[in-house]
């Protein structure tokens, strides 16, 4: 009987100790899981610092040699106009030339008047972005000189290369905004905001403005887990 009582007592103590460990473990895990996940946003609107602007044109004829001569003439007219508008020689370069043979696959009843179509361009590549913006409508002046060029805005490329300088301050701002959100959550939950459990920096995105494509909208979102005490 005595041995039975001792055995029962040992079993009871063992169960109690096991329960205590389970409780402590659950409490520890509960404390560990007490955190809040927040996001912080930082945005900037900046101006592009480089522009690429191709002015493309096409000329037709039956003599290739004469077409290349005409191409040089047209190119020079475009270059002279651009230089008169403030562009430098270093801003201008000749684009690639391609030639279509219009008679290679035509309907014999409707042979094109000209055998060849030559495509060429003058390309503006400059850091003077506003100079490009102000002169993007120069096609009408070239048209008055008998030159048809394609200067559509969709062909223009406005680039922003200063992201590395913006990154530190934007990440700092996004992190501060995330902490402010977490602090508000902690206050509402009537607990203390602890240290960072983990953090991840989101991808930086750069999008062109819909109406002023030389303006760029830079955005970054950081995700931060804060411990709640």
Q: Quick one: 142 and 213 in the same domain?
A: no
Q: Quick one: 138 and 168 in the same domain?
A: no
pTM metric for this prediction: 0.74
Q: What is the CATH number of the domain that holds 206?
A: 3.30.110.170
Q: Quick one: 44 and 95 in the same domain?
A: no
Contact between 214 and 204 under an 8 Å Cβ cutoff? The reply is no
Q: Quick one: 153 and 84 in the same domain?
A: yes
What percentage of the chain reaches a pLDDT higher than 90? 54
Q: How far apart are CA 167 and CA 164, in angstroms?
A: 5
3-state secondary structure of 94: strand
pLDDT tens digits, one per residue of 51-62:
999 999 999 999
pLDDT tens digits, one per residue of 201-215:
888 999 999 999 999
Q: Quick one: 81 and 129 in the same domain?
A: yes
Q: What is the CATH number of the domain that holds 136?
A: 3.30.70.2970
Query: Can you name the residues that pair with 159 across neighbouring β-strands?
Result: 50
Give me the number of domains the chain comprises.
3
**What is the arithmetic mean of pLDDT over 45-55?**
96
146: left (phi over 0), alpha (psi -120 to 50) or beta: left
Q: Quick one: 44 and 80 in the same domain?
A: no
What percentage of the chain reaches a pLDDT higher than 70? 83
Q: How far apart are CA 136 and CA 228, in angstroms?
A: 56
At 222, list the tokens.
């950081």
pLDDT tens digits, one per residue of 73-114:
999 999 999 999 999 999 999 999 999 998 887 766 678 889
pLDDT for position 35: 81
pLDDT tens digits, one per residue of 119-129:
999 999 999 99
Contacts of 104 (CB under 8 A, 6+ apart): none
């Amino acid at each position: 009987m005595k041995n039975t009582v001792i055995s029962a007592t040992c079993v009871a103590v063992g169960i109690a100790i096991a329960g205590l460990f389970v409780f402590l473990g659950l409490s520890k895990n509960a404390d560990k899981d007490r955190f809040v996940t927040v996001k912080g946003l930082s945005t900037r609107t900046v101006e592009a610092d480089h522009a690429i602007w191709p002015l493309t044109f096409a000329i037709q004829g039956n003599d290739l040699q004469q077409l290349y001569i005409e191409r040089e003439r047209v190119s020079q007219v475009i270059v002279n106009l651009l230089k008169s508008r403030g562009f430098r020689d270093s801003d201008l370069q000749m684009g690639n030339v391609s030639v279509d043979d219009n008679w290679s696959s035509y309907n014999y009843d409707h042979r094109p008047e000209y055998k060849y179509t030559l495509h060429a361009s003058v390309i503006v590549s400059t850091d003077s972005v506003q100079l490009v913006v102000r002169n993007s409508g120069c096609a009408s002046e070239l048209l008055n000189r008998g030159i048809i060029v394609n200067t559509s805005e969709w062909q223009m490329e406005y680039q922003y290369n200063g992201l590395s300088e913006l990154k530190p301050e934007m990440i700092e701002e996004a992190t501060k905004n995330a902490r402010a959100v977490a602090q508000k959550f902690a206050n509402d939950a009537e607990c203390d905001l602890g240290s960072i459990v983990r953090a991840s920096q989101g991808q930086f995105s750069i999008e062109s403005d819909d109406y002023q494509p030389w303006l760029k909208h830079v955005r970054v979102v950081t995700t931060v887990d804060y411990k709640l005490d």
